[in-house]
Structure 1
Amino acid sequence: MSTERTALVVIDAQKAFEEWEAAGRRRNNPHAMDRIADLLAAFRAAGAPIFHIRHQSLAPSSSFAPGASGGEVMDKGREEPGEVVIVKRVNSAFIGTDLEWRLRDGGVSRLVICGVTTNHCVETTTRMAGNLGFEAWLVRDAAWTFDRVGPDGDYHLAEDIHAMTLANLSDEFARIVWTEEVVAAMAGLR
């Protein structure tokens, strides 16, 4: 692993998700934000590139609308000076942004991906990363999702949605890893 060739991509670590949880929505991986903080610390210590992705909706009623409190970044996910922040308006961090160009211009070939929600923006970005030829590592304990009701009215637990998303992405689109694996690999680069 090389610090120049490996970048951390933190997807949508925004307060809307804290607000959803405070309003009673149930999620999995309650310590995922702590794991994201661990990844940020490891990448910063290694001097490796970090890309913060923020979602901004054009729908005025969205939790992610410009000016809405939900669009703000979670405290543990704040960027530091020099770290790139990219704003997206759809699920993939590659659509309508310069993320791909920045990665290729910087010689990055491996993406360590984490964030919210596993089955939406994290999954879509991870799939596209694999399709674009990047080596994607999805950090399973540094991502989370929420319970959902399906089109037939069936209730799906966040844990099941998360697990199925990981199963769908495993091998073909991404390597599924744990935070401790990534932190150990990054520590070896210092």
Structure 2
Amino acid sequence: MNTSTGTALIVIDVQESFRQRPSWQAVSAPDIAGRTARLVDAARAAGDLVVWVLHSEPGSGTPFDPPSGHVRLMDGLDARDGEPVITKTSRNAFTTTNLQQLLTAAGIRHLVVCGIQTEQCCETTARLAGDLGFEVTFVTDATATFPIEHRDAPPGRGIAEILADPATLQTADIIARTEYALAGRFATLAALDDLAPAAATMR
């Protein structure tokens, strides 16, 4: 594991669990696994550490419950030897894991964040990382999210009805809000093409 650069790519929750939910058909980036793979390739080529984070909800009976078999990386993504794979039960990647200790021991001071969901696990991880003193780069177009129903919306609606509701917060608005919240405060925003040019990917 080469950590000489002092940079780590934090891949958050790019896992099969999300593909098992009805909301997947409305995801902002259906190709999130491919976008993530580009960043992983670029990180490995640069000698950066890659840290894989999975989200688990034991006992929930959902696709995030480990017995479901879906708490695993999406097809096309694989951790190499020496790349930590950690499992969290909180929205941010720090509170219920040893991520901070792992990064500190490896001499990491700069984090590149990608994954699912933009405004939840990715944004909360970036915010906490900034508060912990890490330099954070947030690759917004290498994150993915889903429409959010209004808090007063009736339960049990299908995805088509949710999308048609004018009170639903659409993915473009969610992404914009995250960028407004993070930029200049908790993170520097970056584009996937800048960090991992498509022509330069190597797998």
Whether the 8 Å contact between 1:25 and 1:147 is mirrored in structure 2 is: no
**Counterpart amino acid of 1:160?**
D
* TM-score, normalisation: structure 1: 0.89
Aligned CA RMSD, in angstroms, stands at 1.8
> C-alpha offsets along residues 59-104 of structure 1, whole Å, 9 cap, x if unaligned?
3322211121331210133211211001101101100211001111
Give the Cα separation in 2 of the matches to 1:130 and 1:47: 23
Match 2:189 to one of 170, 176, 188: 176
> C-alpha offsets along residues 129-150 of structure 1, whole Å, 9 cap, x if unaligned?
0010100101011001001102
Give the Cα separation in 2 of the matches to 1:113 and 1:77: 16
Runs of 4+ in 1 over 4 A off after TM superposition: none
**Counterpart amino acid of 1:182?**
L
How far did 1:24 drift? 5.7
Task: Determine what percentage of the aligned residue pairs are the same residue.
Answer: 34
Gaps of 5+ in 1: none
Whether the 8 Å contact between 2:33 and 2:75 is mirrored in structure 1 is: no
Give the Cα separation in 1 of the matches to 2:77 and 2:177: 26
Name the SS of the counterpart of 1:7 in structure 2.
strand
Whether the 8 Å contact between 1:136 and 1:174 is mirrored in structure 2 is: yes
Tell me the matched-pair count: 183
Name the structure 2 match of 1:148.
148
> C-alpha offsets along residues 13-47 of structure 1, whole Å, 9 cap, x if unaligned?
101112225x6641213333222110111111222
Name the SS of the counterpart of 1:113 in structure 2.
strand
Name the structure 2 match of 1:17.
18
Gaps of 5+ in 2: 154-166
* TM-score, normalisation: structure 2: 0.84
How far did 1:9 drift? 0.2
Q: 1:45 to 1:68 in 2, by over 3 A?
A: same
**Counterpart amino acid of 2:117?**
T
Give the Cα separation in 2 of the matches to 1:64 and 1:29: 20
Q: 1:77 to 1:34 in 2, by over 3 A?
A: same
**Counterpart amino acid of 2:7?**
T
Compare CA radii of gyration and give the structure with the larger one.
Answer: 2
Whether the 8 Å contact between 2:91 and 2:120 is mirrored in structure 1 is: yes
Name the structure 2 match of 1:87.
87
Name the structure 2 match of 1:167.
180
Name the SS of the counterpart of 1:91 in structure 2.
coil
